[in-house]
Amino acid sequence: MLRPASSLGSAVHADRRARLRAMVSGPILMMGNGSQPRNLPMNQHRFRQDSCFLYLTGCDEPGAALWMDGDRELLLLTPPADDDGLWHGHLTPNAERATAWGFDQVAELGALEGLVGDSRPRTIAVSDPAACARGAALAGRPLRFGRENGDDELFDALIRLRRRLGPAELEAARQTAAASEAAHRLVMAQTRPGRTEAALVGLFEGALRAQGRLTAYDTILTVRGEVLHNHSHPNTLQAGQLLLLDGGGEAPDGYAADLTRTYPVSGRFDPRQRAAYEAVLEAQTWAIAAARPGVRYRDLHLGACRILARFLVDEGLLRGNVDDLVAEGAHALFFPHGLGHLLGLDVHDLEVFGDRAAYAPGRARSPQFGTGYLRLDLDLEEDMLVTIEPGFYVVPAILQDEALRARFRHALDLGVAERWLGFGGIRVEDDVQVRPEGGASLTPHLPRTVAELEAIVGSGGPLPF
Ligand SMILES: [Mn+2]
pLDDT in tens, 151-181: 999 999 999 999 999 999 999 999 999 999 9
Label residue 91 by pLDDT band (50, 70, 90): confident
Q: How far is the CA of 264 from the centre of ligand 1 (A)?
A: 21
Residue 462 lies in a domain: no
What CATH number corresponds to the domain at position 41? 3.40.350.10
Q: Which of 119, 138, 163 is at the close of a domain?
A: 163
Q: Among residues of the chain, what percentage have pLDDT more than 90?
A: 90
Whole-structure pTM value: 0.95
State in Å: Cα 391 to ligand 1 middle.
Answer: 11
Statement to judge: residues 186 and 54 lie in one domain: no
Compute, in angstroms, the gap from residue 257 CA to the centroid of ligand 1: 9
The verdict on 114 and 171 lying in the same domain is no
Domain that holds residue 107: 10-163
In a domain, 312, yes or no: yes
Is 340 in the same domain as 237? yes
pLDDT, residue 44, reads 92
110 and 191 share one domain: no
Q: How many domains are there within the chain?
A: 2
CA of 192 to the centre of ligand 1 (A): 25
Given 131, 163, 195, the domain boundary residue is: 163
Please give the distance, rounded to the nearest whole angstrom, from the Cα atom of residue 248 to the centre of ligand 1: 9
Do 120 and 188 sit in the same domain of this protein?
no
Tell me, what's the pLDDT at 6? 60
- Per DSSP bridges, beta strands 37-40 and 43-44 are antiparallel
Does residue 189 contact residue 456 with C-beta atoms inside 8 Å? yes
CA of 122 relative to ligand 1 center, distance in Å: 32
**d(CA 258, ligand 1 centre) in Å:** 5
CATH of residue 313's domain is: 3.90.230.10
Evaluate whether 91 touches 83 at the Cβ level (below 8 Å): no
Residue 200 within a domain = yes
Q: Per-residue confidence at 57, pLDDT binned at 50, 70, 90?
A: very high
What is the CA(121)–ligand 1 centre distance, in A?
35
Helix 197-210 with 167-190: angle, nearest 10 deg: 140
Q: Looking at residue 3, what is its pLDDT?
A: 45
Are 17 and 135 members of one domain?
yes
CA distance 303 to 323: 10
pLDDT at 85: 83
Does residue 253 carry a pLDDT above 90? no
Q: 182 and 146, same structural domain?
A: no
Cα(409) to centroid of ligand 1, in Å? 31
Residue 296 and residue 382 in one domain = yes
Measured in Å, residue 74 CA sits from the centre of ligand 1 at: 36
Q: How far is the CA of 16 from the centre of ligand 1 (A)?
A: 27
Sign of CA dihedral 130, 131, 135, 141: negative
Residue 222: predicted pLDDT: 97
Of 118, 141, 163, the residue that ends a domain is 163
- On average, the pLDDT of the chain sits at 95
Instruction: Identify the helix (H) or strand (E) that includes residue 262.
Output: strand 259-264
Helix 271-289 × helix 297-314 angle, to 10°: 160
In a domain, 461, yes or no: no
Q: Are 249 and 304 found together in one domain?
A: yes
pLDDT tens readout for residues 136-149? 999 999 999 999 99
Residues 234 and 382 in one domain: yes
Residue 465 belongs to a domain? no
Ligand 1 centroid–CA 111 distance in Å is 41
Within-domain flag for 292: yes
Task: Please indicate, yes or no, whether residues 154 and 179 belong to a single structural domain of this protein.
Answer: no
Same domain, yes or no, for 175 and 157? Answer: no
Q: Is the per-residue pLDDT at 4 higher than 50?
A: no
